[in-house]
C-alpha cells in the first residue's frame, strides 16, 4: 500500500509555506484559504485605511505588547500573547502571513514573536502592501475580528530575546556581534531620536547594519546572495548575533535577514534603544560605524 502526502489544497492538512517570506503571487493564490490568517502588522505611523482583502489588524502597540514594561513593543507574557492571537482566530493548524504598510518594517516582528513561542507556520509578505498595490491587486477595508476565537497556545522561549545585561555581555564577548538596525545617522548620533529623552549615539562595540540595507528601494528583501554578503561583511562567521533597533521592530528585520542568510544563533534585544538610550549608566558612543 502506498500513502500520498497531503497537498496544500487538502483542507484537513496545514497550509504549507514556501519559506519565511512569501510573494504576492503566493498570497493571491491562497487568499481565500480558510487555513490562512492574514494580518496587517503595520505600525501606527505606516498603517493605511486600505487593506489586502481579509486582513485583520494586529496591534503591536496594543495586545501584542507588554503594557507593564514601560517600553514600546516588548514581548507580552504568554497568557496575553495567547489571548491576543486567539482573538485573531489563530488556531494550532493555522498559517499566518504578516504584512506591513511600509514594505518591510514591523511585520517581521510578528514572524519573530510567533516563532519564539513555538509557532512555525508564519511568514512575512515580501514588499508588503506597497508591492500588492503596485500590481493593481484588490484592496478594501480591514476584516472584523472573527466570531470564533482560535485555540493556539503560545509560550515564548527565552533564548529568542535578550535583556540589557545580556547585550552588555555580548558587546564584551569575542564571539558575538551586536547589530544595530537603526539608520546610520541615528547610530552616529547625528540624527535625533524619534522618542524624547533618549541619548543620541550607539552602544560601544555595536555594528551598524540599517534594516534598509537588507532591502531594495521598494521594500523587497534583497536576493539571498546579497543578504549573505551583507551579513558576511558585518558579522564574523560563527559569531552569535544580537539585533537591536529603536523599539524592537526593525531588529526583527535583521533577525529575518540573518535567518535567510543561514545564521541561526540570533536573538533580539527587546528593550533596544528605548531602554539602553535612556539617561543612566549604560555606555553610549557617538560617531559613525
- Catalogue the active-site residues: 245
Q: How far apart are alpha carbons 208 and 180 in whole angstroms?
A: 5
Residue 95: which H helix or E strand, with range? strand 95-99
Distance CA(134)–CA(2), nearest Å, equals 45
CB 262 within 8 A of CB 182: no
Interior CA angle at 67 toward 127 and 266, to 5°?
50
Distance CA 26, CA 39 (A): 15
The three three-digit cell numbers of residue 201, written as one number: 549615539
Tell which residue, 178, 158, 38, has the closest CA to residue 107. Answer: 38
Cell 528585520 belongs to 253
**Set of cell numbers at residue 218:** 521598494
Task: Give the pairing of strands 36-40 and 56-57.
Answer: parallel
Amino acid at each position: 500500500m502506498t500513502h500520498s502526502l497531503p497537498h496544500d489544497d487538502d483542507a484537513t492538512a496545514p497550509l504549507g509555506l514556501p519559506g519565511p517570506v512569501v510573494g504576492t503571487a503566493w498570497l493571491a493564490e491562497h487568499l481565500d484559504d480558510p487555513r490562512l490568517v492574514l494580518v496587517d502588522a503595520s505600525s501606527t505611523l505606516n498603517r493605511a485605511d486600505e487593506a489586502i482583502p481579509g486582513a485583520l489588524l494586529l496591534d503591536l502597540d496594543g495586545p501584542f505588547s507588554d503594557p507593564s514594561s514601560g517600553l514600546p513593543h516588548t514581548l507580552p507574557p504568554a497568557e496575553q500573547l495567547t489571548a491576543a492571537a486567539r482573538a485573531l482566530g489563530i488556531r494550532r493548524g493555522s498559517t499566518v502571513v504578516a504584512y506591513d504598510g511600509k514594505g518591510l518594517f514591523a511585520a517581521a516582528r510578528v514572524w519573530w514573536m510567533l516563532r519564539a513561542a513555538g509557532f512555525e507556520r508564519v511568514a512575512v509578505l515580501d514588499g508588503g502592501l506597497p508591492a500588492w498595490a503596485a500590481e493593481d491587486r484588490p484592496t478594501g477595508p480591514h476584516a472584523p475580528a472573527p466570531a470564533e476565537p482560535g485555540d493556539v497556545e503560545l509560550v515564548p522561549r527565552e533564548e529568542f530575546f535578550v535583556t540589557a545585561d545580556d547585550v552588555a555581555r555580548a558587546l564584551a564577548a569575542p564571539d558575538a556581534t551586536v547589530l544595530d538596525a537603526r539608520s546610520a545617522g541615528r547610530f552616529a548620533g547625528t540624527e535625533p531620536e524619534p522618542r524624547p529623552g533618549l541619548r543620541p549615539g550607539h552602544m560601544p562595540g555595536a555594528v551598524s547594519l540599517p534594516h534598509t540595507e537588507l532591502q531594495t528601494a521598494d521594500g523587497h528583501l534583497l536576493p539571498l546572495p546579497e543578504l549573505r554578503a551583507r551579513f558576511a561583511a558585518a558579522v564574523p562567521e560563527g559569531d552569535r548575533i544580537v539585533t537591536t533597533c529603536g523599539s524592537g521592530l526593525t531588529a526583527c528585520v535583521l533577525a529575518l535577514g540573518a535567518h535567510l542568510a543561514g545564521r541561526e544563533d540570533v536573538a533580539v534585544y527587546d528593550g533596544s534603544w528605548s531602554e539602553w538610550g535612556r539617561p543612566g549608566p549604560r555606555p553610549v558612543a557617538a560617531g559613525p560605524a
